[in-house]
Structure 1
Amino acid sequence: MPGLLDRLGVWRDFLAAEPVRVSAALRLPLICLIAVLVWIWEVDHWLPELYAVILGCYGVAALLWLAAVLRGPVPRWGDWASTGVDLLVVLALCLVSGGATAALLPVFFLVPISVAFQDRPGLTAFIGAITAAGYLTVWIFYSKRDDTVGLPNMVYTHFGFIVWMAVATTALSFVLARRARRLEALQAVRLQLVAEAIQSDERLNREIAEHLHDGPLQTLLAARLELDEARDRNPDPALDEVYAALQETAAGLRSTVTQLHPQVLAQLGLTAGIRELLRQFQSRYDIEVVADLAEVGKPASQSLLYRAARELLTNVGKHAGASLVRVDLRRHADRVILTVSDDGAGFDPGIVGKSLADGHIGLGSLLARFDATGGSMQIFSDAGCGTQVTVTSPPETGPH
């Protein structure tokens, strides 16, 4: 279980640092293009040995950086720092190469583009401005070093194009950042609406459960008591059958009330609620249960997690044909993680989404609920290899 928690945390970190990893992956072909461009132009380098050393170190550093960002969390400064190193290296290559400045012109267009998708307009504008200024600076340096070359008019045209590219990529980054904020706002509204709908559903279930418990169930129990007294006064097989029917109906109604609003969940919390579910499961099915339940208190999403545990255990009992089921409950940071696994027949997880689209509930409904509230449900299964379902609660905003 700790390994699973670690993998989930790493996966969230991976998604959060995705732009940095994309930049790290794109940097390698850029280095190859730099080497090919200069080789095709056959430039007479000013300092060829130093040029080769800088380019070689750049390639090795890019490989090490890519391996680092793929393996672990990336610091917040990693995106702009790595791009700044790109720009410094390109400027250094231009300075030590002399005539290769013209060959490296395409690189000055690619650097601002590589920053634009990070949705940070300020950083994009800064890198774009530095890139344009750097290109003009190295040409001025080259012209001063070699009086026979001078400063071609085309350099100013290139400088203008690079400035235009900087403005365009900044505008693109601004549009992407604004759209990202809109999507975040819409997602927040969606989560709020789903949370309110779930709370409304829970309130309705509680009201119905209280009505059934205080009304029909009490009336049924009173009728059963009167019938029991009548049986004592006048024994009759017909009364015995009616009494048995009343017993079965009362048990079914009590079970319905418990499913609508489990008292143990409201009073003692999620861990006690799942422990009671396992007790009921063992009384109904001849399946060994191995449980490792940590105390997680009463998380805001405990009703959803309880419903998930009940649905998963029901599926194991009715459909899996298993001899063993394992249930783990843990808290990891601001989330609660429930894992239910069995050694049964297994199934194709791909049918879950299709079943929901066809109007069937069950796992598909759970999957939709967790996804809509900011949680997740992962299903690992294969025919004959059992099933493991891991549900992760939405993050809790308050103290836990």
Structure 2
Amino acid sequence: MPAPFQRRVVRRYTTEAVRVTAVLRLPLIGLMALLGPVIHVSHWQPDVFTGLLIVYALVAVIWLAVVLMREVGPWAGWASTAVDVTAVLALCIASGGATSVLLPVFFLLPISVAFQYRPRLTAIVGLCTAVGYQAVWIVYSKRDDAVGFPDEVYLYVGFLLWLAAATTALSYVLVRRSATVISLLDVRKQLVAESMDAEQRERRQLAENVHDGPLQNVLAARLDVEEALERHPDDRLTAAESALREAAGQLRSTVTTLHPQVLAQLGLTAALRELADTHAHRGGLEVRTALDEVGHPAAKELLYRVASELLANVGRHAQATTVELRLTRERGRLVMTVEDDGAGFDPAVVPKRVAQGHIGLASHIVRVESFGGSFDLTSAPGRGTRVVVTVPDAD
């Protein structure tokens, strides 16, 4: 599998797991904050316990904001888990009778790590959790002579070791399944790439055939009619010349649609601007554009075809008066947005339309996703439609 594609998939899975644990961490801290008021635990160092909990909560909130705003790499799992283990151990040591009450937190740590697709990390956290739990009890028993070292501690350590083994096995299974999914995605990416290459070759060949054959014949016939008009003015010849002129224009438009020269020569931005002007004149729409200059990215053909399909759908179905086409470059990705003020529709009908043979939009969604991008469609009846296409920015 190509390394960049694999890294994108791994980052996506890692980010999802880290985001879930970041969200679940906050209510857990809230429950730990209720430890004193609800259970009336006599803290050994209440000020230290409260301070640690506040710092832990602040770090958790900041971390949640960070992972929600952007994708993170595999390092995020190690970092967040290290903070969790350190915080729980510190809180247990700083609390008196809270040690046994905080026992469920020790069981939750390896479970939360298991879903990060990191078996080795899960095993390390599981072992450290078991050892840390025993260490806390040792500190607790040495500090308070009235409290011994009950045999139940060894039983709980055994449970924690079993949990470490179970969650490591679970993480290993998840990694194997994700590897299978990545492999299937790679196969689909290759098939879609080959399909797109074949389609581009067919489009290019068809455009050349239309340009060198029917278009030249129509232009030649038009010249003959114009010469005949000069010698013998006639209304029927005038009508024929007008029809031939219109036919030549339609053939040129077809050649441009099949293989736009401006896309190959001037790049994606100029091609999208020309495409917007064409649809504005053809469909009577107000097409507003805000296009960054992006040159010749690897996804230029894909984005151009998607924009063409979306603008055509707006003209055919949306009943819109205004459509906006935007293209921006953001942190190594290209983001194209097409938004109209038309009738809108229920996105749930897309699978049904595909089953009926309308595969235009669905095929572009598959192509975008196979390129490592995303295709986000937002619409509702009476509220217009907004499509945001994001792809990697590679030359």
Normalised by the length of structure 2, the TM-score is 0.81
1:344, CA displacement in angstroms?
3.7
Which residue does 1:217 correspond to in 2? 215
Aligned: 1:61 with 2:55: yes
Structure 1: gaps spanning 5 or more residues = 1-11
More divergent stretch after superposition (105-114 vs 259-268): 105-114
Structure 1 SS opposite 2:297: coil
Is structure 2 residue 265 aligned with structure 1 residue 264? no
Shift of 1:198: 0.8
Q: Letter of the aligned partner of 1:64 in structure 2?
A: L
Distance 2:201 2:58 in 1: 55
Per the TM alignment, residue 205 of structure 1 is displaced from its structure 2 partner at its CA by 0.5
Give the 5 Å matches for 1:241-320: 241-320=239-318
The residue that corresponds to 1:70 in the other structure is: 64
Pick the aligned partner of 1:136 from 134, 151, 172: 134
Of 91-100 and 266-275, deviating more is 91-100
Question: Following the alignment from structure 1 to structure 2, what is the Cα–Cα distance between the partners of residues 292 and 32?
Answer: 46
| In structure 1, C-alpha distance between the alignment counterparts of 2:97 and 2:377, rounded to whole Å | 58
C-alpha separation in 2, matches of 1:378 and 1:94? 45
Matches within 5 A, 1:54-133: 54-73=48-67, 77-95=75-93, 97=95, 100-133=98-131
**Alpha-carbon separation, structure 2, partners of 1:281 and 1:146:** 81
Matches within 5 A, 1:281-360: 281-360=279-358
Structure 2 distance, partners of 1:351, 1:262, is: 32
Amino acid at match of 1:84: A
Matched residues, number: 382
Write out per-residue CA displacement over residues 149-183 of structure 1, whole angstroms, 9 at most, x where no aligned residue.
54443333322222222122222222222332332
Kept in 2: contact 1:132–1:162 (CA 8 A): yes
Q: Which runs of 5+ in 2 are unaligned?
A: 1-9
Output the aligned Cα RMSD: 3.4
CA contact (8 A) 1:20 1:69 kept: no
Task: State the AA in 2 paired with 1:56.
Answer: T
**2: CA distance, partners of 1:159 / 1:90:** 16
Kept in 1: contact 2:344–2:381 (CA 8 A): yes
Q: Is the 8 A contact 1:346 1:382 kept in 2?
A: yes
Deviation at 1:31, TM superposition (A): 4.3
Q: 1:307 to 1:167 in 2, by over 3 A?
A: same
Q: Choose from 391, 395, 398 the match for 2:392.
A: 395
User: Which residue type is aligned with residue 291 of structure 1?
Assistant: T
Q: Offset of 1:142 from its aligned partner?
A: 4.3
The aligned amino acid for 2:113 is: V
- 1:293·1:328 contact (CA, 8 Å) conserved in 2? yes
8 Å CA contact 1:206–1:261 kept in 2: the answer is yes
Distance 1:54 1:125, change over 3 A: farther
- Matches of 1:328 and 1:42 in 2, distance apart? 59
Q: d(CA) in 1 for partners of 2:26 and 2:311?
A: 49
* Bigger Cα displacement from structure 2, 215-224 vs 141-150: 141-150
SS at match of 1:17: helix
> Which residue does 2:151 correspond to in 1?
153
Task: Report the CA distance shift for 1:102/1:282 in structure 2 as closer, same or farther (over 3 A).
Answer: closer
* Identity score, percent: 52
Counterpart of 2:296, as a letter, is K
Name the structure 2 match of 1:7.
none
Displacement after TM superposition at 1:125 (Å): 1.7
Q: 1:192 aligns with which of 178, 190, 193?
A: 190
Q: CA deviation at 1:140?
A: 3.7
Residues 184 and 39 of structure 1, relative CA distance in 2, 3 Å threshold: same
Displacement of 1:240: 4.5
Alpha-carbon deviation of 1:210? 0.7
Name the SS of the counterpart of 1:391 in structure 2: strand
Q: Deviations over 1:210-259 (max 9, x none)?
A: 11211222233223333443454555555455444433333322222221
Give the TM-score normalised by the residue count of structure 1. 0.80
- Give the secondary structure class of the aligned counterpart of 1:337: strand
User: Does the CA contact (< 8 Å) of 2:14 and 2:117 recur in 1?
Assistant: no
After TM superposition, what 4+ stretches of structure 1 lie above 6 angstroms from structure 2?
12-15, 35-43
1:21–1:66 Cα contact (<8 Å) kept: no
Letter in 2 for 1:212: V
Is residue 21 from structure 1 mapped to residue 19 from structure 2 by the alignment? yes
Tell me which amino acid in the other structure corresponds to 1:314: A
**Contact residue 38 and residue 104 of structure 1 kept, 8 A:** no
